[in-house]
Amino acid sequence: MIYAVLVLGIFMLVLLLWPALGPARVTPEDTRRTELEEEREQLLDNLRELEAGSAGDAAGPHAEMVIREKVRLAQVLQELDALPPAQAARAGRPALPLALLALGVTALVTLGGLYTVFPQWRYAGLPTAEAAQLRNASALPGLERRATRTGALADLNAWGDAAWQAQNYSLASRAYTQVLVQQRSDAKALRRVGFFLLKDPKMAENGLGFIQRSVALAPRDPEGQLYYGYALGLFGQYGAGLQALNTYQALAPDGHEADDLIVQYQQKTGAGVDGRLVFAQNCAACHGQNLEGGRGPKLLGSAALRQPEALKSIVLHGATGMPAFPQLQGKQLDALVKYLGQQ
Ligand code: HEC
């Protein structure tokens, strides 16, 4: 819609500017006037020369020429007088003020529409996720006012959820804290306030406590298990953290938020590193979750998978169109190579 209006605006502008952009219109009178003016200058020059060259000479060929030139000059001046006054400057570019006016009106309509009738125009051209985030962020002040005014749980939750989605975690935790004042066992509010508290070293322990309570209240909520696993890791409890993250994966088979942490924790606990997860985290974006290919070539059936040393070299040094992964060393690389060798 916004594009249609913009195109229309540009079209109008071009249409109006068209005559002004082209050369100024030239009438036959204009041409004649130019000719006469040139002749007038020429005659005046000639006269000046003749008079300079014939000082004191009252008769003779010189005087005769002077008279002829003067008669011609009088004719030229008369004809010039009879022509209508010059028009080019006045009539050549009549559209300019009009075009500027149209441009102004188009700009006003666009801006006006932007902030009144069609607020969605503000997001035109943005990727959907970003647009949603912006829309959320711009709805926040309204939601906050409403929640503060009514104090109703539904309004507080709407405010908190919007702030969370806009990744404004401190604002979200303010909203969820007020939810908790009214409802101390709200699992979502507990884990989200807890997650926010983890950022502050002085409050992190409280954060873990909040998340623990949330998980006890709603053990089958994937977000709770994910935050719980993350929080436990912050306190060095990798074994328990791994358990929570595995629960998260069981509850949300399509979620890959935990892949990175699981591999880290596996290394810390000395448990065998899961090569499948190393692959999912580093390679699947190009080669597909199931090695079926995508931006990178299909790996299923590739001879490279059967040559551990060559495989390691590709991973560590990269290839054309494939980045290097020098950070994949030791257990992670071994687990990855082992996993790929079994495919
Ligand atoms: C950014 C995309 C991208 C990522 C991420 C990526 N690759 Fe690649 N990979 C490619 C491309 C493109 C090629 C083809 C390179 C060529 O032909 O020179 C390739 C080639 C390969 C090959 C050779 C395949 C053959 O049959 O010759 C292997 C093996 C491989 N990648 C493994 C991996 C592994 C393991 C990871 C993760 C650690 C990974 N890739 C991550 C894009 C990627």
Per residue of the chain (343 residues), give pLDDT as tens.
667 777 777 777 777 777 666 666 677 888 888 899 999 999 889 888 887 776 555 567 777 888 888 888 888 888 888 888 776 555 555 567 777 787 787 778 777 766 665 656 666 777 777 787 788 788 899 999 999 999 999 999 999 999 999 889 999 999 999 999 999 999 999 999 999 999 999 999 999 999 999 999 999 999 999 999 999 999 999 999 999 999 999 999 888 889 889 988 988 887 788 899 899 889 999 999 999 999 999 999 999 999 999 999 999 999 999 999 988 888 889 999 999 999 8
Ligand 1, atom nearest to 320 Cα? 18
Region of residue 281 (left: phi > 0; alpha: psi -120 to 50; beta: else):
alpha
pLDDT of residue 115: 63
Dihedral in degrees, nearest 10, Cα atoms 326, 330, 332, 333: 60
Q: What is d(CA 31, CA 73) in angstroms, rounded to the nearest whole number?
A: 18
- In a mutational test of the pocket of ligand 1, which residue from 282, 283, 306 has the highest number of ligand atoms less than 8 Å from its CB? 283
Contact 232, 238 (CB under 8 A): yes
Q: What is d(CA 147, CA 205) in angstroms, rounded to the nearest whole number?
A: 29
CB burial of residue 59 (10 Å; 0-12, 13-18, 19+): exposed
Task: List the residue whose alpha carbon is closest to atom 34 of ligand 1.
Answer: 283
What residue type is 244 in one-letter code?
A: A
Instruction: List C-alpha distances in Å: 334 to 12, 20, 272.
Output: 66, 73, 10
Contact 239, 212 (CB under 8 A): no
Residue 306 Cβ contacting ligand 1 at under 6 Å: no
Residue 285 Cβ contacting ligand 1 at under 6 Å: yes
Dihedral in degrees, nearest 10, Cα atoms 76, 78, 84, 87: 40
Residue 287 Cβ contacting ligand 1 at under 6 Å: yes
Q: For residue 175, count other CB atoms closer than 10 A to its CB.
A: 27
Tokens 């699947």 belong to which residue? 284
Contact 337, 283 (CB under 8 A): no
What residue type is 137 in one-letter code?
A: A
Maximal CA-CA distance, the chain: 129
What residue type is 114 in one-letter code?
A: L
Beta-carbon contacts of residue 145 (< 8 Å; ≥ 6 apart): none
pLDDT of residue 316: 93
CA count, 13 A, side-chain hemisphere, 246:
9
Residue 316 Cβ contacting ligand 1 at under 6 Å: no
Q: What is d(CA 119, CA 139) in angstroms, rounded to the nearest whole number?
A: 11
Residue 327 Cβ contacting ligand 1 at under 6 Å: no
Q: What is d(CA 19, CA 169) in angstroms, rounded to the nearest whole number?
A: 57
Beta-carbon contacts of residue 239 (< 8 Å; ≥ 6 apart): 265, 269
Q: What is d(CA 229, CA 208) in angstroms, rounded to the nearest whole number?
A: 10
